[in-house]
Amino acid sequence: MSVHASSERRSLPDFPAGIGALVSRYDGFLLDQWGVLHDGSAPYPKALSCLERIRQAGKTVIILSNSGKPGSENEATLARLGFPRALYDHVVSAGDDARDALMAGGEPAYRELGRNCLLLVRPGEERLADGLGLTPTDDPDAADFILLMSMEPPAQSVAGWQPLLARAASRGIPMICANPDRHRVHADGRLHEAPGLVAQAYEAMGGTVHSHGKPHARIYRTCLRLSGIPAARLLAIGDSLEHDVAGAAAAGIDAAFIAGGIHRGALRWTAAGEVDPESCRRLFAREGPAPQFALPWFQWD
């Protein structure tokens, strides 16, 4: 019987002390980075040693990120934050997933997309569209579609982009969203707007959005192909119920929820830095789906 099949019968998640209690059950691990390994500015205290122990156990590790940047740029970020390249096998990003779909052009939504794109990115990240054969424009009346890859709040925001989005929606042009995260947590614990919130606003205006990354099936198919490991022998580790846990569940992969990430403020914590299990259960019941495991942080024990 698979690990996934047996764990599905649990009505509530297990709360192990750390990943060390789970490592023998799985052959591969799909790790979110932001909210699990680091907060964008610094690694979490126990993350590096935990990842080292997973690798010492001989396990396959794929960094699975909703970043709109390609894997190579995410590798550079991880190296800057102290995570050596030897500690993981692959980086699979939402940005890579979107680029692959745009370049292949085989999916129905992409076959006659056009080449003129309204490119929405952080200032200085226009390079993210390089190599796609696109003609970027800042005029929604000249665009065939919107390519949303990154944003830098508060300078860039849903409210600030609203007139541009409204004009594009009135023309009926689709949006390709290369980062479906709606919020990201910063080192100060505050939640900032992320591209998925822009995509949500565009849908509310009547626009069509094609999203890439977690929780969508395409990116999990890539992970399964790269790892060569059956879904039942993989564990996804992430801090977002909407993306990491829901995406893993849809792909038939077990999930370990990290409470200290994006949902941290919605949970109760002890003075010793432990998350209250009952507050986790309430969160899962309210927002779901429930993961197989829940831990306060990405830690070995």
Q: Which residue has the higher pLDDT, 28 or 41?
A: 28
Task: For Cα atoms 44, 49, 53, give the angle at the middle one, nearest 5 degrees.
Answer: 140
Residue 248 phi/psi, 5-degree rounding, is -65, -45
Give the domain range for residue 253. 3-66+214-295
Residue 3 has pLDDT above 60, yes or no: no
Task: Tell me the percentage of the chain whose pLDDT exceeds 70.
Answer: 95
Residue 4 has pLDDT above 50, yes or no: no
> Could you tell me the CA-to-CA distances from 254 to 7, 22, 134, 228, 245 in Å, in that order?
8, 11, 38, 16, 8
What DSSP state is assigned to residue 241? I
**Total domains, the chain:** 2
Residues in the chain: 301
Report the distance separating Cα 160 and Cα 163, nearest Å: 7
Mean pLDDT of the chain: 93
Residue 284 has pLDDT above 50, yes or no: yes
Contact 157, 197 (CB under 8 A): no
Query: 196 lies in a domain?
Result: yes
pLDDT, tens digit (0-9, with 9 covering 90-100), for 226-271: 999 999 999 999 999 999 999 999 999 999 999 999 999 899 999 9
Residue 109 has pLDDT above 90, yes or no: no
Q: Give 76's contacts (C-beta < 8 A, 6+ positions apart).
A: none
pLDDT score recorded for residue 27:
99
Contact 36, 214 (CB under 8 A): no
pLDDT score recorded for residue 273:
86
The sign one gets for the Cα dihedral 138, 173, 220, 131 is negative
Query: 19 lies in a domain?
Result: yes
Query: 91 lies in a domain?
Result: no
Query: 200 lies in a domain?
Result: yes
Do 222 and 283 reside in the same domain of the chain?
A: yes
pLDDT score recorded for residue 77:
96
Report the distance separating Cα 64 and Cα 81, nearest Å: 17
Do 169 and 219 reside in the same domain of the chain?
A: no
Tell me, what CATH number does 14's domain have? 3.40.50.1000
On the CB side of 91, how many CA atoms lie within 13 Å of its CA? 25
pLDDT score recorded for residue 6:
41
User: What is the reported pTM?
Assistant: 0.92
pLDDT score recorded for residue 8:
43
Q: Read off the pLDDT of each residue in 166-187 and give the average, rounded to a whole number.
A: 93
Q: Read off the pLDDT of each residue in 187-204 and give the average, rounded to a whole number.
A: 90
- Split at pLDDT 50, 70, 90, the class of 174 is very high
Q: Which residue has the higher pLDDT, 89 or 192?
A: 89
Of 171, 186, 211, the one marking the end of a domain is 211
Residue 12 has pLDDT above 70, yes or no: no
Q: Which two tokens stand for residue 51?
A: 């990842």
- Split at pLDDT 50, 70, 90, the class of 5 is very low
- Split at pLDDT 50, 70, 90, the class of 134 is very high
Residue 63 has pLDDT above 80, yes or no: yes
Q: Read off the pLDDT of each residue in 148-156 and give the average, rounded to a whole number.
A: 94
Q: Which two tokens stand for residue 39?
A: 């907060």
Q: 50-59, 96-105, 252-261 — which is least confidently predicted?
A: 96-105
The sign one gets for the Cα dihedral 143, 148, 152, 156 is positive
pLDDT score recorded for residue 7:
41
Query: 88 lies in a domain?
Result: no
Q: Read off the pLDDT of each residue in 46-69 and give the average, rounded to a whole number.
A: 98
Query: 84 lies in a domain?
Result: no
Query: 85 lies in a domain?
Result: no
> Could you tell me the CA-to-CA distances from 210 to 48, 172, 178, 270 in Å, in that order?
34, 13, 9, 41
- Split at pLDDT 50, 70, 90, the class of 185 is confident
CB count in 10 Å sphere of residue 171: 11
Residue 1 has pLDDT above 50, yes or no: no
Name the residue with tokens 């495991």.
Answer: 293
